[in-house]
Structure 1
Amino acid sequence: MWNYSYIFPSFLIMIVFVLYWFYIPRINIGLNRVFIQLIVVEMIVMISDIVSSVADENYFMYPDWQLYVINDLYFVFFFARAYLFYLLTMYLLKLHRNLMELLHWGMIIPFVTAIILTITSNWTHFVYYITDDGYQKGSVYDYVVYSCLLFYEVISFAVLVIYRKNMPNITRLLGAMGFNFTILTGTVVRWMFPRYLLMDTFCLIAIIIIYLSFTNPDFYYDSKTDVFNSEALTYYVDEIRSFRYKRYIAVGLHNYKELKEVYGASSMDKGLKLIGSYFRNKYKNLIPFYSKEGRFVLIGNRDIEADKIIDQINQRFKESWNFKDTKMYFELDFVMTDENMTIESPERRLEVGMDILADDIELVPGNVRYVEDADVERVEREVYIRKTLKWVIEHETAEVYLQPIVRADNHQIIGAEALARIKDKDGNRIMPGEFIRVAEQNGAINQMGEQIFKKTCEYIKDNDLEKMGISWINVNLSPTQFMNNSLAFKYNSIIEKSGIDVGLIHLEITEDAMVDQMVLLRQIQAMKERGFRFVLDDYGKGYSNLDRLKDIPFINIKIDMAIVRDYCNKPDGLLPSLVQTFKTVGFTVTAEGIETKEMADEMYKIGCDFLQGYLFSPPVPIEEFKDYCARQ
């Protein structure tokens, strides 16, 4: 009566698959929980499909009530499987938070209706019934079975199309489409060939697609540390409605980047594995995650003894971490949420905590830094700045301001520095101290710097700098820009397109850009061949020394305003000697941050060639700079 040739191999494959999947560590998230339910239901469907088919073929051996129970059991799990495939689609699209809404409660109605109609068929004969001739289809069998299946399949495809942007990439979207299409194909095949038990095979294929695309435990496990990875952390935190019931301890290796240079990448990876294993084995009531760059997160219930745990961890880290002949010593930073925080969003709390952990300069090793509402507000401000930067770059609305540079002897304007300024789409200004740091962190400084350079070149093209008394305009280059191998080509193209003399542009780089000497020399040499000249900005803040400066063709050294201010407050012989050494080597010298006449006089006395600061002028909008020069 029924063909079993496909279901038995499918069942054996399912058993092997289940044993393997349950053997690997899994993160306890809703997606995995639904997947486990789907696997269990599919196993029951396969077994009950075989049992009910055999019983129906040998109906004369069983009383009617047993046949009804066996078939009812099969149909209940058959319909449950269809609902679980739909539910898993909802979790993939991260719509599970809406499952408690009235609309989504309505999604269960076809499932419940189909079950009620099936179970009551003993009396109504709607879906099926048992006669002296055995199992018989009811009058609405096809309507009930296939309308229920098609309802969930159509809804799944609809939400995938509508909420496709919720998927992180096209590969996962295709995976979700793929398993739903497989279920739809299986439904059509079941309708066309009802005597062949093929539906279970298609469901098995769909489950394998789900595994390969979404629920493979390797996707959420960090093999380097033997704990769950950042993607698992994102999924887990996404399901926590608030940290009222959960608590996290963020742990980071202090000075991780320096440690990696000292011990080497390979040894650090081994050290991280030892630390991950320690967290996993020592704290069974906590779930350990590894984010990146030496940062771990331990999440547990609200009542965990956090202070005790931190003390234990600190004690362990006073000892060495040994791997073969290597001994490694680490110090830790800890970040937790302040008890009095009013912001309950777990994503925002954890995001801020990890942000603080990444910037470990302000952290004291071994101590706990508590996340407060003000920290969350700061991060939200940075998110707003990132969005504004994106909008500014897309619409090319970065503004150029010019601050005059004057001769130290007579205070006559001789040059200027181009400075970037931005406003959001509503016209609200964002200060440079805020957006420059964010732009350097997310890479937006590359496009913004290019816009400022281009607009400065256009200004030079449209104005006679010689008549304005301007010999050059300095344009800043950030360390991030210097890592761009196409920098020389791009800037030279802009110069050629504008048709200006490259000598009218001086490029300012900070000492931060001098950390990697080889990259710096290669980039400067490529740009020097195209006629660019370089100025060292903010001397005194970074790592440079005179030997390194002699190797780089700077034409001017700008003394950082903090160094200038310190000297003017408490004169000594160091800065005058430094200025004279620079001039002996062949550099001209500019003093920054000049705010009073006394500061200007002091800098002139010690030999500075040029001065820059608010004593002479604040930065001026580029379109007003020509009039400003005329007034001077």
Structure 2
Amino acid sequence: MYIMKMIPYNVHYEIGASLLMILLLCCIVGKKRLRTRSNNLFLCNVCLLIAGNLIDGLCGLINSGMITCSVHTQRLCNALDGSIFYLLIAAYVLYFLSLAYLTNYHNKQIFSMSILMVVLAAVCFVLPFLQSNSWSNGKYVFHGIPVSGITEGITVVYVVSAMIYLLLHEKKMGKQKKGFFLLCNIVFVGAIGLQHIGIFCCRFVYPILAVIIFAYFLLFQSPDFYMDRLTWAFNQTAFFDILRECVQYREPANFLLVRINEYNSLLRIHQYENLAQVRSNISEILRDTGTKREATVYRIGASTFAVHCRDKEQIKRLHELFLSYLPKRWEIEDEVIKTNYCYYLLAYEGDDTSFEKLVQWIHYARSDHKAHHKQGELITLRYDIMTETERQREVLRYIEEAILDQRMEIHMQPVYSLEQDKITSLEVLSRMKDQEGNFINPEYFIHVAEENHCILKLGELIFRRACIFASQNHIFDYGIEYMNVNISPGQCQYERLTEDFVEIAAEYDIPVERIHLEITESEFQDPQAVERTLDRLRKFGMQVALDDFGTGCSTLLSILELPIDYVKIDKSLVWSYGEGGNQFLDDLMPVIKNEGKKVIAEGIETEEHIEIFRRLQGDYLQGYYYSKPLPEHEFVKYVREFNHV
């Protein structure tokens, strides 16, 4: 205790600050460190602080006479003390700017100011050895010029200008963080001022700066803040920090995204703890495989990992390895979990691609849309993919607005009866426009509705609009016997579809016998469910037509097995037969007629087409020869004129 009282009290702070930084450095060394510019500058600051505090404490002991040494040693200590101080100032300013992604080496203002601080460090190293140098009240004087005052003034200008630069150029940082930066730098500049007026015999700035650096560390860069506790990979925050830094500094970066397919479905089937163990095991495989090749692994979502790679070639090699190493079957506590994976290549070329755009690409890969994922295949995330995604998002917005407002434009195309020689039915065709008033392909917006699980509400809206049209315009008084409404296979998987349609038809006094439903056998995810629904619809009195026969999706087996009443021959088959391209209809028509089904031919555009189906004993004709799809009021006018009613 007696010895400590003999030591100048400033040295207590120097020693304490040194110990604090040493302990902090020891803690960091044992942790996984995120490879960012700010982390590298942070370690540089810590090392300079340790060296500066120890050297400054030693200078304090020497200058106070507690330690005796040669003049040369004393000058060397003072030279190191001054030079380390100004190197530390430069490193500190670059560090707090790096936390806001502003330390761009191409920035002339920051670069020139940093060079100036390095020059000051060199001057301070040389100054103690010059003959004309003198020491007055703890300050250097060279030929009567107060060198210490000038250098400290330059330091204050440097710190203040850097802070102003941050406040002016960083728009995305919150007010609280900006306020924290401002407060820390006010304290720092105040410490320089107190040191200059000579209140402390040693560099009071060192312990103050140590506390500020430690505060920055706790707020921005704790290693635990970047770790995912479940998988021990880096977390999403770390990933986005790396990605943002690459974009800010135009540094190319390549990532391999690995996604567990249909993870939400797995959550409904398996225990969460077992799935968490699967994710942990996957992370371990990714880390073991990637670390050997100097790749960094991040967990960026519940079911998605990102591997930061050197280049695209490394991504391709890792993709091949993961295809072999990642199991598709896991046995966790007597539970068998089956997993599949998709892989994406996310490449930032150091160009004008924004951070927000890259995040959109990542969200595309992380989404649950089946169309986005191809099992095992390495998909490159590009502008064309995102353009399609943005288009789907826009169309989905139109669909949601239509459902919310209960409005949908429908057109009607007449269907001609060869037997009755008049228009006896119509097909209801839904229409949707974009912002510019252009029609969106119906197949496309129906596909978007199915992908986004809103096909039931959209289909119900179309059916309701058809019933409203029939009721308001009394179309059955003009020779129309029934109307055809399209439904999708996705709708048929809904158990209450029949009941809902019957209730809507009754609401508008439309007999269900007047309603025929058309379905395309394109993508029956659950054929049994489709057959059950079609059976129920027919039991209630509705009839069913198999649409687009001849497109390659439907077969003769469909005609024989599906509960249908009509077969609609696709226009491609009609045109091909008319051009002599095939004679398939000669064999097909008798089979359909023998099964008791009626035939509707689509794409009728010429007299020749009409004669062909008259000869083949077709039943109904539909096409531009009679009329294109018409808006509601135009169709009513057309059918009244055609049927002379």
Q: What's the CA shift for 1:220? A: 2.9
Deviations 1:498-536 (A, max 9, x none): xxxxxxxxx99976589898xx99xx99x99xx999x99
The alignment of Structure 1 onto Structure 2 pairs a total of residues equal to 553
Change (3 A) 1:186 1:356: closer
Change (3 A) 1:315 1:416: closer
Q: Does the 8 A contact of 1:60 with 1:134 survive in 2? A: no
Structure 2 counterparts to residues 425-444 of structure 1, below 5 A = none
Residue among 253, 263, 269 paired with 2:276: 269
CA distance, structure 1, for counterparts of residue 310 and residue 628 of structure 2: 54
SS at match of 1:195: coil
Partner of residue 499, structure 1: none
Residue among 184, 203, 225 paired with 2:186: 184
Residue among 58, 70, 78 paired with 2:77: 70
Q: What's the CA shift for 1:177? A: 3.8
SS at match of 2:161: helix
Partner of residue 422, structure 1: 434
CA distance, structure 1, for counterparts of residue 62 and residue 629 of structure 2: 89
TM-score, L = length of structure 2 = 0.63
Residue ranges of structure 1 left out of the alignment (5+ in a row): 458-462, 472-506, 581-590
Q: Does the 8 A contact of 2:543 with 2:564 survive in 1? A: no
Q: Does the 8 A contact of 2:87 with 2:121 survive in 1? A: no
Partner of residue 61, structure 2: 54
SS at match of 2:432: strand
Structure 2 counterparts to residues 487-506 of structure 1, below 5 A = none
Structure 2 counterparts to residues 298-337 of structure 1, below 5 A = 298-302=307-311, 312-317=321-326, 321-335=330-344
CA distance, structure 2, for counterparts of residue 92 and residue 593 of structure 1: 69
Change (3 A) 1:121 1:316: closer
Partner of residue 3, structure 1: 10
Residue among 393, 403, 408 paired with 2:411: 403
Change (3 A) 1:558 1:306: same
Q: Does the 8 A contact of 1:336 with 1:369 survive in 2? A: yes
Structure 2 counterparts to residues 141-540 of structure 1, below 5 A = 141-165=148-172, 167=173, 170=174, 174-192=176-194, 194-196=198-200, 199-237=205-243, 248-283=255-290, 284-285=292-293, 286-302=295-311, 312-317=321-326, 321-335=330-344, 355=364, 365=375, 368-369=377-378, 371=380, 376-382=382-388, 385=391, 401-404=409-412, 411=423, 419-423=431-435
Q: Does the 8 A contact of 2:301 with 2:366 survive in 1? A: no
Structure 2 counterparts to residues 100-111 of structure 1, below 5 A = 100-111=106-117
One-letter amino acid of the counterpart of residue 31, structure 2: I
CA distance, structure 1, for counterparts of residue 189 and residue 600 of structure 2: 76
Q: Does the 8 A contact of 2:227 with 2:235 survive in 1? A: yes
One-letter amino acid of the counterpart of residue 379, structure 1: I
Change (3 A) 1:381 1:321: same
Q: Does the 8 A contact of 1:274 with 1:321 survive in 2? A: no
Partner of residue 482, structure 1: none
Q: What's the CA shift for 1:291? A: 3.2
Residue ranges of structure 2 left out of the alignment (5+ in a row): 1-7, 477-484, 510-514, 568-598, 640-645
Partner of residue 36, structure 1: 43
SS at match of 1:112: helix
One-letter amino acid of the counterpart of residue 421, structure 1: K
User: Which range moved further: 115-124 or 65-74?
Assistant: 115-124
SS at match of 1:61: coil
Percent of paired sites with the same residue: 14
CA distance, structure 2, for counterparts of residue 139 and residue 4 of structure 1: 25
Change (3 A) 1:428 1:213: farther
Change (3 A) 1:469 1:267: same
Q: What's the CA shift for 1:105? A: 2.5
One-letter amino acid of the counterpart of residue 179, structure 1: F
Partner of residue 572, structure 1: 559
Q: Does the 8 A contact of 1:182 with 1:202 survive in 2? A: no
Q: Does the 8 A contact of 1:404 with 1:415 survive in 2? A: yes
User: Which range moved further: 230-239 or 182-191?
Assistant: 230-239
User: Which range moved further: 61-70 or 234-243?
Assistant: 234-243
Change (3 A) 1:467 1:282: closer
One-letter amino acid of the counterpart of residue 49, structure 1: D
Deviations 1:134-156 (A, max 9, x none): 65576253342143234233323
Change (3 A) 1:269 1:22: same
**RMSD over aligned Cα, in angstroms?**
6.2
CA distance, structure 1, for counterparts of residue 622 and residue 344 of structure 2: 42
Change (3 A) 1:59 1:122: farther
Q: What's the CA shift for 1:87? A: 2.2
Q: What's the CA shift for 1:287? A: 1.9
SS at match of 1:288: strand
Change (3 A) 1:107 1:360: farther
Deviations 1:572-602 (A, max 9, x none): 144454889xxxxxxxxxx999655999x99
Change (3 A) 1:46 1:568: closer
Q: Does the 8 A contact of 1:561 with 1:592 survive in 2? A: no
TM-score, L = length of structure 1 = 0.64
Change (3 A) 1:548 1:190: farther
Change (3 A) 1:416 1:5: farther
Deviations 1:201-231 (A, max 9, x none): 5434433443343322334322232212344
Deviations 1:267-286 (A, max 9, x none): 12110101111222344223
Q: What's the CA shift for 1:305? A: 6.7
- Structure (1 or 2) with the larger CA radius of gyration: 2
CA distance, structure 2, for counterparts of residue 421 and residue 185 of structure 1: 61
Q: Does the 8 A contact of 1:251 with 1:332 survive in 2? A: yes
CA distance, structure 1, for counterparts of residue 57 and residue 329 of structure 2: 59
Structure 2 counterparts to residues 583-622 of structure 1, below 5 A = 595-596=603-604
SS at match of 1:47: helix
CA distance, structure 1, for counterparts of residue 234 and residue 383 of structure 2: 29
Change (3 A) 1:360 1:441: closer
Partner of residue 80, structure 1: 87
One-letter amino acid of the counterpart of residue 130, structure 1: W
Q: What's the CA shift for 1:256? A: 4.0
Change (3 A) 1:539 1:86: farther
Q: Does the 8 A contact of 1:560 with 1:593 survive in 2? A: no
Q: Does the 8 A contact of 2:257 with 2:346 survive in 1? A: no
Residue 140 of structure 2 is aligned to residue 130 of structure 1:
no
Q: What's the CA shift for 1:178? A: 0.8
CA distance, structure 1, for counterparts of residue 122 and residue 41 of structure 2: 23
CA distance, structure 2, for counterparts of residue 469 and residue 562 of structure 1: 29
CA distance, structure 1, for counterparts of residue 600 and residue 353 of structure 2: 44
Q: Does the 8 A contact of 2:544 with 2:566 survive in 1? A: no
CA distance, structure 2, for counterparts of residue 561 and residue 212 of structure 1: 66
SS at match of 2:10: coil
CA distance, structure 1, for counterparts of residue 71 and residue 508 of structure 2: 94
Deviations 1:273-330 (A, max 9, x none): 0111122234422322233353333344459777765555444445854444445444
Q: Does the 8 A contact of 2:415 with 2:426 survive in 1? A: yes
